[in-house]
Amino acid sequence: MKSSVYRYIALFIVAILFQASIVRYLEIFSWKPDLVLIILIMFSIQSGPSLGSTAGFFAGLLTDLISGHFLGLGALSKTIAGFISGIWAKYFPEKTQFIITLAIGGFLHNIIYFFLLTIGIEFSWRSLVFVYTVPNLFYTTLVGLFINFLIRSWLKED
Amino acid sequence: MKLNPFLVLVRKPLFLLVVYIILSIVLLRMNPEKSLQGLRYGALQVVEVFAKIRFQIAVWKDYQKEVEILKRENFKLQTTLQKTRDIFLENERLKLLLNFKEENQLELIPSKIIGVGTELGVRSFVLDIGEEDGAQKNMPVLTADGLVGKIVLTTPKQSICQILKDHNSLVSARLQNSREIGVVSWDGEPWLNLLYISKDVPVNIGEDVVTSGLSKIYPPFLRIGQVSEINENEYDLFKEIRIKPAVNFNSLEEVIVIHLIENDLTNQVDLEE
C-alpha cells in the first residue's frame, strides 16, 4: 500500500506537469483531457473517500496554481470528485468500476468546475452541460481508459 | 486505549470533505489577494523549468532532423560538386587542346578514350573515332601535354592507338638544346629511353625531348618528355638517357588525332614502321 501511494504521488506530479504543458497540444476545439482527474479517480477507487478528497484538494490546488485559473476552483471540484468516487466506487463491478466512477466523478467535477468558472457570466445550463461538461468528460474518459490500461498492472505490483 | 478525538474526526471522510470545501471557498474568495499571486508565481516557475526541458528536447529533436536533412543535402551537393569538378577539368583539358590546335594550325580530330586495347603484344587505347570520322592508320595521337602514340588499327567507328609505352613503339626524337637526334623507346619501366645519343653530346637533366620531324608519322616539335636521368658506361658508345613522359598515361581521357597532310619529303627516316 505504501509503495503504491508513492507511485500515485509520482503520478500526480507527472500528471500536473503534463496538464500544464503537453495537454494543450491534445486540445480539440476547446476540449481537452484532465489527466489529474484520471489519476485522482484511480487513486480514490483504491484508497476511499478520505484519501480521495485529500488528494483531490491538494492536486486541484496545485493545478490551480499552475494553470492560472481561480485558486480553489480545481481544489473544490477535485475534492468533491475524489470524495464521491471513493464512496461510490465499491458499488460498481470491478470490470466497469473505473469507467463508471470516472464518468460520475468526472461529470460532477466538470459541472462544479464550469459552473464556478462561469459565475457572473450569462450562460445557459444547456451550454454548460453539452458544450463544456460532456465533451470534456468524454475526452477525459477515452484518455483515462488508455492510461488505466497502461499503468493498472504497474500500480498493483506490490 | 483512549483515541485522540481530533484524529478520529480527521479520519471521518465527511469531516475532511467539509474542511476541504471550506478551504477551497476561502481560497476562491482570496483570489485577488497579492500574497496568493506570489504563490502562483512560484508554482509557475516550477512549471517553466519543466517546460524549458521539454522545449530543449523538442529543439534537440528538431536539430537531429535538421542534421539528417543537411547530411542528405551535403551528400547531394558533394556529388554535384564532384560532377562540376569533372566538367571543369574536362573543360580545362579541352581548352588546352583547342589552344594547341590554334597554335599549331593542324587539322585535329578530338577523341575520347573509351577503353584499353586487348591486342596481344601492343599496349594501346581504344578511341571513339574511326574511319568515318577521318581516323587513319599511323595518325599521331597526342594531348596538350605531349605525344601519346599513333593509330595502328582503324574500324569504321573506333580505332586503336599504340602508346609510347609499348615495346614496339619507336619514335624519332630530338633533344631540344643540342638538337641531337635519337630514338625514343620503352623497355617496360616507368620511364622512356632515348637511344643513340653519343657520349660527347652535352645533355642536361630537365631538357625537353621532342619529335624530330624526320618521320612520315610524327610532325616536328611534339613534346615527348623531359630528361630525368643520364647514365654513361665506359664500354658503351651511347649515353643511357631516361625520359619522364610528358603525358600521364594512367589518367588520359581525351586525346586529339592529327591529320597530317602528305608532303613530298623523300628523305624522311621512318623509324616507326
Please, what are the averages of pLDDT over each run of 10 residues along chain A (158 residues)?
78 86 80 91 90 92 80 90 90 88 91 83 78 88 90 73
Q: Which carries the bigger pLDDT value, residue B191 or residue B41?
A: B191
User: Has residue B268 got a pLDDT over 50?
Assistant: no
Cβ contact, residue pair B20, A54, below 8 Å? yes
Of B12, B24, B54, the CB nearest to A76: B24
Question: Grid coordinates representing B132?
Answer: 568515318
| SS3 category, B113 | strand
Q: B46 to chain A: which residues are within 8 Å by CB? A: 66
User: A–B: how many Cβ contacts below 8 A?
Assistant: 82
Q: What is the pLDDT of residue B4?
A: 64
Name residues whose C-beta falls within 8 Å of residue B118's C-beta, 6 or more positions apart in sequence.
none
Question: Grid coordinates representing B157?
Answer: 567507328
Rounded Cα distance, B150 and B172, in Å: 13
Name residues whose C-beta falls within 8 Å of residue B174's C-beta, 6 or more positions apart in sequence.
B180, B181, B182, B209, B210, B211, B212, B213, B220
User: Has residue B43 got a pLDDT over 80?
Assistant: no
Name residues whose C-beta falls within 8 Å of residue B238's C-beta, 6 or more positions apart in sequence.
B195, B196, B197, B198, B199
CA distance B79 to chain A (A): 41
Q: What is the pLDDT of residue B273?
A: 42
Q: Which carries the bigger pLDDT value, residue B45 or residue A18?
A: A18
Q: What is the pLDDT of residue B259?
A: 80
| Distance set, CA B102 to CA A21, B99, B199 (Å) | 76, 5, 38
Of A20, A21, A75, the CB nearest to B24: A75
Rounded Cα distance, A38 and B113, in Å: 77
Helices (H), chain B: 5-10, 13-29, 34-104
Angle at A145 between CA B55 and CA A73, to 5 degrees: 65
Each residue of B146-177: pLDDT tens digit?
Answer: 899 999 889 998 999 999 988 888 899 999 88
Q: What is the pLDDT of residue B263?
A: 46
Residue appearing with cell numbers 562540376 = B84
Bridging pattern class, strands B124-127 and B107-116: antiparallel
Q: A22 to chain B: which residues are within 8 Å by CB? A: 54
Cβ contact, residue pair B26, A71, below 8 Å? no
Q: What is the pLDDT of residue B269?
A: 41
Residue appearing with cell numbers 614502321 = B273
Rounded Cα distance, A41 and A37, in Å: 6
Torsion of CA B160, B161, B166, B171, to 10 degrees: 140
Q: B28 to chain A: which residues are within 8 Å by CB? A: 70-73, 76, 116
Cβ contact, residue pair A75, B47, below 8 Å? no
Q: With 0-12 CB in 10 A as exposed, 13-18 as middle and 19+ as buried, what is B243?
A: buried
Rounded Cα distance, B11 and A128, in Å: 35
Q: Is the ipTM of this complex over 0.90?
A: no
Of B28, B44, B50, the CB nearest to A73: B28
Residue B145 CB neighbours (<10 A):
16
Nearest CA in chain B to A82: B17
Mutate to test the interface with B, among A18, A22, A79 (most CBs of B within 10 A): A79
Question: For the domain A2-156, what is the CATH code?
Answer: 1.10.1760
Cβ contact, residue pair B47, A73, below 8 Å? no
Please state the domain extents for chain B.
34-105, 109-259
Question: Grid coordinates representing A100?
Answer: 463508471
Interface of A with B (CB under 8 A): 17, 20-22, 48-50, 53-54, 56-57, 60-62, 64-66, 68, 70-73, 75-76, 79-80, 83, 86-87, 116
Any chain A CB within 8 A of the CB of B7?
no
pLDDT band (50, 70, 90) for residue B267: very low
Any chain A CB within 8 A of the CB of B16?
yes
User: Has residue B7 got a pLDDT over 70?
Assistant: no
Mutate to test the interface with A, among B10, B20, B29 (most CBs of A within 10 A): B20
Q: What is the pLDDT of residue B227?
A: 94
Fold of B109-259: Thrombin, subunit H (2.40.10)
Question: What sign results for the dihedral spanned by CA atoms A109, A111, A117, A119?
Answer: negative
Q: Nearest-CA neighbor of B210 among B226, B230, B231, B190?
A: B226
Q: What is the pLDDT of residue B262?
A: 52
Which neighbouring-strand residues pair with B147? Answer: B142
Rounded Cα distance, B146 and A20, in Å: 78
Mutate to test the interface with B, among A12, A36, A53 (most CBs of B within 10 A): A53
User: Has residue B266 got a pLDDT over 60?
Assistant: no
CA distance A84 to chain B (A): 10
User: Has residue B101 got a pLDDT over 80?
Assistant: no
Q: What is the pLDDT of residue A126?
A: 81
Torsion of CA B47, A51, A81, A94, to 10 degrees: 110
Could you write out the DSSP letters of every residue in B125-186? EEES--GGGT--TT-EEE-SSSEEEEEEEE-SS-EEEEESSSTT--EEEEETTT--EEEEE-
Where is mean pLDDT largest: A116-130, B28-42, B238-252?
B238-252
Each residue of B110-144: pLDDT tens digit?
Answer: 898 988 876 656 688 899 999 988 899 899 998 88
> Side chain identity at A73, as an amino acid letter?
L
CA distance B32 to chain A (A): 9
Q: Which carries the bigger pLDDT value, residue B224 or residue B12?
A: B224
Cβ contact, residue pair B28, A116, below 8 Å? yes
Q: What is the pLDDT of residue B10?
A: 58
Of B20, B36, B39, the CB nearest to A53: B20
Bridging pattern class, strands B240-245 and B223-231: antiparallel
Lowest-confidence range among A28-32, B90-94, B176-180, B256-260?
Answer: B90-94
Q: B13 to chain A: which residues are within 8 Å by CB? A: 48-50, 53, 83, 86-87
Rounded Cα distance, B20 and A55, in Å: 10
| SS3 category, B260 | coil
Please state the domain extents for chain A.
2-156
Cβ contact, residue pair B43, A66, below 8 Å? yes
Q: What is the pLDDT of residue A44?
A: 92
Cβ contact, residue pair A21, B51, below 8 Å? yes
Cβ contact, residue pair A72, B26, below 8 Å? yes
Q: Which carries the bigger pLDDT value, residue B101 or residue A111?
A: A111
pLDDT mean across residues, chain B: 82
Rounded Cα distance, B142 and B222, in Å: 8
